Structure 1
């Protein structure tokens, strides 16, 4: 009888966030008591079997719900820091409508202009300069399309902890994927790898070979768990 009561209690607790860990423990106790009761001569075997079965199901359900609630919590936390929430264009004043949209927090699908600064909720901020022509050295690799361009990318760490760079931009040009240029001689195409302390920033140059420099799209994000910021001209 005790096993049956504990199994029912555990089944109810399984659906309550944070409390479902207690439900898993209660289910375990109910299962143990039920199994013991099955082998006792004076115990009611039907009740003992029912209590064991319900306790087992409640225990499995509690574990599943613990995982589900934990995953939902992690997803919520990631969403809270991963989406770009503000943008500013230092090269030209934004319109009133654009300013209002930025302060309200644009959707993840918002595209930005080259020269804008995109700031994430945790304080990381990325600025991508307007593209300029690039002249590869003789040792450069990847300069295989109609035009070669470069971008200056700046990331400011506005968080309260070190940031480990994971910045690998990609570019397309008029629907054609651009070729990334690696130019050791000019120190271009080498993404930064040294940690950036809180309050500091890094700046590096990246170059691409493109089909049409007048129609560019650049994707970049601070790392895993962050939405990509999309820049275009």
Structure 2
């Protein structure tokens, strides 16, 4: 059985390649997406403001600490760090990495001010300490000089109180005392304080009142030491030649005391006499020399 030919004497088999060609052709270029394409947003970098904030905080701390004189030695550390961090913050701001340029700049300024304050306070402290040390040293030198002068004065006074027989010494109350060279003394038969074989001497003490008021002699007895430094014994006899100074001495007047002492023969070549008109107030003066 023969199939009838399609109209127009066209062969469907012959049209298939043409149809495929018509439907299969595509324009050059990227393949169209069935979904709409939107541009992807780029992430915005976060500003690096930490250095500026740190510089500001440290600058405030350094400046405040520098205002306290006792804390100036602590202020230079935060102040220096404020300058360093502030400079880094300014560098970030210039490169667009930070947005707090003003804060970093203020931190640098405060840090610099803190350094200046710290340096000024340090200089002030050095000056104050130096002046205090100089003052202490000057006071110590004055005290030392005063002590040395006092010691020299005591030595001079001590030297002035050591005299030879016949010289005079004036005590601070105005009594001038003179001790004459001891003279031989012969006790009578009724004698106390004189051993047989000893040498008896008589000591004469003259006291003159050089002041304007009457003055008392509280201790009228001298002390006599022999050549060996031993105290000689006071001689008392019945001759009545000894006289003890007692009572008051009127202005411009004098009183004379006479005392006898017994010296051992081996220590009688030199005598020292100690005397003070008031032993509680004035130290003794000393008269010495060969007997």
TM-score (structure 2 length as normaliser)? 0.41
Does residue 1:160 correspond to 2:189, yes or no? Answer: no
- Give 1:226's aligned residue: 282
Provide the aligned length of Structure 1 versus Structure 2: 129
Structure 1 residue ranges without an equivalent (≥5): 1-84, 86-104
Deviates more, 1:112-121 or 1:136-145: 136-145
- Give 2:162's aligned residue: 111
Give runs of ≥4 in structure 1 deviating > 4 Å: none
- Which structure has the greater CA radius of gyration? 2
Tell me, yes or no, if the aligned pair for 2:221 and 2:245 is still in contact at 8 Å: no
- Give 1:178's aligned residue: 232
Question: Does the residue aligned with 1:106 lie in a helix, a strand or coil?
Answer: helix
Q: 1 or 2, which has the higher strand percentage?
A: 1
Does residue 1:207 correspond to 2:285, yes or no? Answer: no
**In 2: Cα distance, 1:194 partner to 1:168 partner:** 13
TM-score (structure 1 length as normaliser)? 0.51
Bigger relative contact order, structure 1 or 2 (CA pairs below 8 A, ≥6 apart): 1
Q: 2:245 aligns with which of 184, 192, 203?
A: 192
Q: 1 or 2, which has the higher helix percentage?
A: 2
Tell me, yes or no, if the aligned pair for 2:169 and 2:285 is still in contact at 8 Å: yes
- Give 1:216's aligned residue: 271
Tell me, yes or no, if the aligned pair for 1:108 and 1:227 is still in contact at 8 Å: no
User: 1:56-86 deviations in whole A, cap 9, x for unaligned?
Assistant: xxxxxxxxxxxxxxxxxxxxxxxxxxxxx9x
- RMSD over equivalenced CA pairs, Å: 2.0
Tell me, yes or no, if the aligned pair for 1:169 and 1:218 is still in contact at 8 Å: yes
Deviates more, 1:207-216 or 1:126-135: 207-216
**In 2: Cα distance, 1:112 partner to 1:206 partner:** 19
Deviation, structure 1 residue 121:
3.0
Structure 2 residue ranges without an equivalent (≥5): 1-152
**In 2: Cα distance, 1:126 partner to 1:192 partner:** 12
User: 1:115-162 deviations in whole A, cap 9, x for unaligned?
Assistant: 111112332100000011000011221112621001111000112222
Deviation, structure 1 residue 213:
2.5
